[in-house]
Amino acid sequence: MTQIVKVVIVDDHKIFRAGLEMILNGMTDLKVVGSAANGNELLQILKQQEADLIFMDIKMPDINGIELTRIVREKYPETKVIALSMYGEIEYFNKMIDAGADGFLLKNTQETELEQAINNVTDGSTYFSKEFISTISKQDWFKTRTSPVELSKRETEVLEHICQGLSNQEIAEELGISTHTVDGHRRNLIVKTGVKNSPSLVMYAIQHGLITP
């Protein structure tokens, strides 16, 4: 029996929440179990209702999405978080990743990309909006002057595919290797670059110009 993914939406715009909830409830094996207008409402929901995935707005009136993500990851480490962003909020990308977000989506994302993000994140991978990655990769203020670590050809290929939002299974199929090998490369990349997780790998790749906008 397929496990139902339990989702909570957090956003201070009621119409946006309602629209996203309608789309999500129309998906197979997924159910919206809570909807919150602010951080305090979310924390009350999580005291009573288990959630597998939270769609997290960044700017909210009481607790912002960055701090709220930190709280969620500390209290409910198994719960995944996908940040919801407007174009003008890309400056918060690294702060959300540091807080523990597993993915990053623009609010104007299409339903197909929304499904891909959910599948990746609930499978233990990451997902970052292609449009968002392209936009932030062009921002000079986000890039670092330090040189990147030396990566093998295969490690570079795996990193590029991670940044494209592909799951371990999809990367394995693209490169003709096993998922176990992909996972090994992912772990090696984390060790080599000195980052703490897969989302931070994406940030590292953008900051060091390792992916093409």
Q: Are 103 and 56 in contact (CB under 8 A)?
A: no
Domain assignment present for residue 127? The answer is yes
Among residues 137, 170, 194, the one where a domain terminates is 137
DSSP E strands, 42-152: 53-57, 80-85, 103-106, 127-128
Range of the domain at 125: 5-137
Measured CA to CA, the distance from residue 16 to residue 56 in angstroms comes to 12
Percent of the chain at pLDDT > 70 equals 95
Among residues 76, 111, 137, the one where a domain terminates is 137
Instruction: State how many domains the chain has.
Output: 2
pLDDT number for residue 212: 65
Same domain, 34 and 115: yes
- Residue among 114, 128, 115, 105 at smallest CA distance from 200: 128
Query: CB within 8 A of 200, min separation 6: which ones?
Result: 97, 98, 190, 193
Give pLDDT tens digits for 169-207: 899 999 999 999 999 999 999 999 999 888 888 888 888
Give pLDDT tens digits for 69-91: 999 999 999 999 999 887 656 67
